[in-house]
Every structure is written in C-alpha cells, then in structure tokens.
Amino acid sequence: MANSAAEDLRTVNQNLCAGLVRLQSLPNPSVAISAEDFFALRTNLERAASCMCSMSADSRPSAEWEKEISEYRRNLEQIVQVLPSFHAGLQAQKGRLEAAINHLQATATWAQASKNSL
C-alpha cells in the first residue's frame, strides 16, 4: 500500500512539475491558462490528498515516500508563487471583458434609440 501511494504521488509530482514548466514558459500565462489547466491542477491536488490519506498514521514512511513528499512540497511552493500572477492577469482580463460588454450594451441602446427616432 505504501509503495503504491508513493508511486501515485510520484505521478502527481510529475504532472504538477510538467504543468508548472508549461505555464511558466508561456509569455502571458494569465491569458493562456485554461479551465482545463485549473481542472488538471485540482485533480492532481485531490489525487495527492488521497495518497496522503492512504498512509496510516502508525506506519513508518519509506525513503521513497519521504522523497515524494519533499518533491510535492516544492511543487506546492511553486504553485503558491505562480497563482498570484495568474489572479492579477485574470482580474485584468475580467475588467477588459466587462468594459467591452458595457460598450456593447451602450452601443445597442444607442442603436435602438436611433432606430426608434427614425
């Protein structure tokens, strides 16, 4: 059981590391990040939580398990560093979209008023 949990956590770490490398290599990650990226992140974090829960409190962790836990912590620390920039970029994008919606609504209102006055 412990070996299987360590293997699962290794897979999670590989997925998280690959995702972080991909996101950090993007020129503007807040625009290029997708819902699927967040879903994959959440799925991997849930899988890691499941691995942690599968380890009994009284079992002695193996060296492999300790190595994977350490790697998982490093991945989490990198995620914590990256998320604020995504948040800021997404907030800016939300502001641009809201401004565009307001402009379209004003244009539609103007068009309707012009149509009614003709």
In the block, residue with structure tokens 């625009």:
31
Q: Which residues contact 31 (CB under 8 A, 6 or more apart)?
A: 89, 93
1 pLDDT band, cuts 50/70/90, is very low
Q: Is 51 exposed, middle or buried (0-12, 13-18, 19+ CB in 10 A)?
A: buried
Structure tokens, 74 = 């490093």
Of residues 63 and 24, more confidence is placed in: 63
In the block, residue with structure tokens 């962790």:
61
Q: What is the pLDDT of residues 71-100, one digit of tens each?
A: 999 999 999 988 888 788 788 889 999 999
Q: What is the pLDDT of residues 16-42, one digit of tens each?
A: 999 888 877 777 656 667 788 889 999
CA distance linking residue 54 with residue 5, whole number of Å: 7
Q: Is the dihedral of CA 38, 43, 44, 46 positive or negative?
A: positive
